[in-house]
Amino acid sequence: MKTIDELLAEDVSGKRVLVRADLNVPLDGTTITDDGRIRAVLPTVKALAGAGARVVVASHLGRPKGAPDPAFSLAPAAARLGELLGADVAFATDTVGESARATVSGLGDGDVAVLENLRFNAGETSKDDAERGAFADQLASLADLYVGDGFGAVHRKHASVYDLPARLPHAAGYLVAAEVAVLRKLTEDVKRPYVVVLGGAKVSDKLAVIDSLLGKADRLLIGGGMAYTFLKAQGHEVGTSLLQEDQVPAVREYLERAGKNGVELVLPVDVVAAPEFPDLKTKAPAEHGTVDADAIPADREGLDIGPKTRELYASRIADAGTVFWNGPLGVFEHPDFAGGTRSIAQALVDSTAFTVVGGGDSAAAVRTLGFDENAFGHISTGGGASLEYLEGKTLPGLAALED
C-alpha cells in the first residue's frame, strides 16, 4: 500500500486531502475524557498541512441512527484537534451538504477542517452498496486525494473507509502504517513466549480470536467478565457474576483444545466480589471482599481478579517475548475494582517483552490509571480492528488501501 511519505513526495500543496481519521473519543456531555485517538492522527495531519495541503478530516463518533444527533457531534473533537495543532480548525456542521462544501472551499493551503459526524448520513454504514457508494461519491467531490488513517474503523465496510478510496488516489496515513507494522509483529515473526491477556465483559466478543490464538499463542490469561463463563465451564459456582450460559459449551471445547495444543490457558484463582455493581458516577466506596474463584458466594458478583491472580498473571508475563493485551481485567473505572487491570499494566511496563495494548477500554485504562504511554511497546487505537486482524480476517479498510 502507498505510504503518506510517497504521497507527500508527489507535492500535495494546494490539493484537498480527505483524511479518514478516528476521532471516536469518549465524551462526558461535551467534555472529552480521553483524547488519545485525536493525538494519534496528529502526525498525519501536521505532515499534510505542513506540505501545504488543504486537509479535510472526516470521522464518526458513537452510533447515531443515520441522522443528526447533537449528542454525537464532532464539534468537541474538532476544537480539541485545533488546540493540539495550535491552529484554527474549521468545522462543517454537516457531512456533504452546504456547510461542508463552503467550509472546504474556504480552506487555504495548510488549513485544516473537520466534517460533522459521518454517521449522521445513513449512507456511511448502509449495507446497500449503491447507497453507500452514493455517499462515497459525495465525499469524493470534496477532495482530490484520500488518506486512510482511522485504524479503529478499518474493520468496517463503510463508505468513508471502503468505498471512498476506490474513488480517489489514496495512501495509508502514519497511524495505519504503524498499526499494521505492529500487527505483523504479532502474527508473522513473533518473539516467544507469546502471551495474550484477554479481558472485557463478554466472552462472545472474543471467541473468534481465542479460536485463532489457540494455534499461535503460548499462554492465554483470561480475566474480566468473560472469565466467569470459563469458570462456569469448569463447573464452578459464579454467583451473580456476568455469565453467558449459551457460550459454556464453546468455552469448554476451547479449554480442552488448549490442553491438547499445549497452550497454557490460565484462569483466575481468586476474585474481588461484591453484593452489587458499584456506582461509577460517584465512585463511592463499595462493599467487597476477596474469595477463591471456585467458591464465589451465590449472592456475590465477581468484579476484579484477586491478589493471588494478579501475582500469578504477572509471573506468566515476566518471561514473555511478546505480550498482547485486550480488555480490562475488572471494573477499572471504580477504584475498588481497578487493582487487577493496574497489575496487568504494571506487569507489561516491567516486562522486557514487546508489549502491545490492544485499544478500546485497555488503552483508556492505561491512561485513566496514570501510566506513561511510552512505557509500552505500542498502544493501539483500534481494539476491534486489532482482534479481527489477529483472527486472520481481511479488513475492508486495509484492503481498500492496497494498490
**Annotated catalytic residue 384:** yes
Which residues 6+ apart lie within 8 Å of 170 measured at CB? 2, 145, 146, 147, 148, 400, 401
- Measured distance CA(355)–CA(348) in Å, rounded: 6
Question: Which is the catalytic residue, given 360, 382, 383, 397?
Answer: 360
Q: What's the gap between Cα 190 and its chain centre?
A: 21
Contact 19, 44 (CB under 8 A): yes
- Measured distance CA(310)–CA(299) in Å, rounded: 24
Which residues 6+ apart lie within 8 Å of 131 measured at CB? 122, 123
Which residues 6+ apart lie within 8 Å of 160 measured at CB? 20, 58, 60, 118, 124, 136, 139, 153
Question: Which is the catalytic residue, given 202, 308, 367, 393?
Answer: 202
- Measured distance CA(164)–CA(399) in Å, rounded: 12
**Annotated catalytic residue 202:** yes
26 prior amide bond cis, ω within 30: no
Question: Which is the catalytic residue, given 20, 37, 119, 342?
Answer: 37
Contact 378, 356 (CB under 8 A): yes
**Annotated catalytic residue 310:** no
Which residues are marked as active site?
37, 202, 360, 384
